[in-house]
Amino acid sequence: MKTVILAGGLGTRISEETNSKPKPMIRIGEKPILWHIMKIFSTYGINDFVVCCGYKNEIIKEYFENIPEKWNVELVDTGLNSMTGGRIRRIKKYVNDEKFFLTYGDDLKSVNISELENFHVKNKQFVTLTAVQPPGRFGILQLENNNVIEMREKPPGDGNWINGGYYVLEPEIFDYLTKDSDVWENEPLNELIKNKKVSAFKYNGIYQPLDTLNDKINLEKMWSNGKAYWKVW
């Protein structure tokens, strides 16, 4: 199986870093976050990658000219303005009409890739997405009249599950992608859900989004302190 990585967006929410580089090339320690993601998959024997490039794609191409890892990497220019569905649509010929993994180029999770694949095969759907509970953003107060009875600090997820990426996709999903402006997470995925073609693999591990400069600093601290939850190699 191949892993397709979406790495072409502008990453405007962390513009302090992405003014000069694509978001997946933001470094955690000495390596780009893209390298960290690929190391997760290679730990499970997945060494074939298709990287969907776009914004400042020449920086990604330059990096992969000199990496020592024994990976097979296809760098595909999927357009500067293509949306996520459009980028997936453009790499159809690279996955050889077979099922494949899909993930985002800024997303670090210690998902057990073998268990994810087995779950997908067992459930026989076109799409398996990894469901996660987001880190809590705010503490919660329990009130009784005007009195505070309990305070809980940032409970994870508030009991809700969200789409956490780390997909397994069957080639049938390309029937739902028709143009570069398709946003995978909107109409195509919702249409697949409506047709009962999507299953959810629950991930209960920690994860740290990479949306702001502060998020990047937190990931750096985890790496330098030997507490990088995604380091499965």
What is residue 137's predicted lDDT score, i.e. its pLDDT? Answer: 67
Q: Give the three-class secondary structure for 144.
A: strand
Q: Which of 182, 217, 180, 187 is nearest to 81 (CA)?
A: 180
What is residue 44's predicted lDDT score, i.e. its pLDDT? Answer: 98
Give 157's pLDDT tier (boundaries 50, 70, 90): low
- The owner of tokens 């209960």 is 204
What is residue 117's predicted lDDT score, i.e. its pLDDT? Answer: 98
Tell me the pLDDT tens digit for each residue of 62-99: 999 988 899 999 999 999 999 999 999 999 999 999 99
Residues 106, 23 contacting (CB under 8 angstroms): yes
Tell me the pLDDT tens digit for each residue of 167-187: 999 999 999 999 999 999 999
Q: Which of 201, 203, 170, 176 is nearest to 1 (CA)?
A: 170
Domains along the sequence of the chain with CATH: 2-133+160-224 (3.90.550.10)
113-123 vs 33-43: helix axis angle to the nearest 10?
Answer: 70
CA distance to 89, 129, 137, 218, per residue, from 52 (Å) = 10, 19, 31, 26
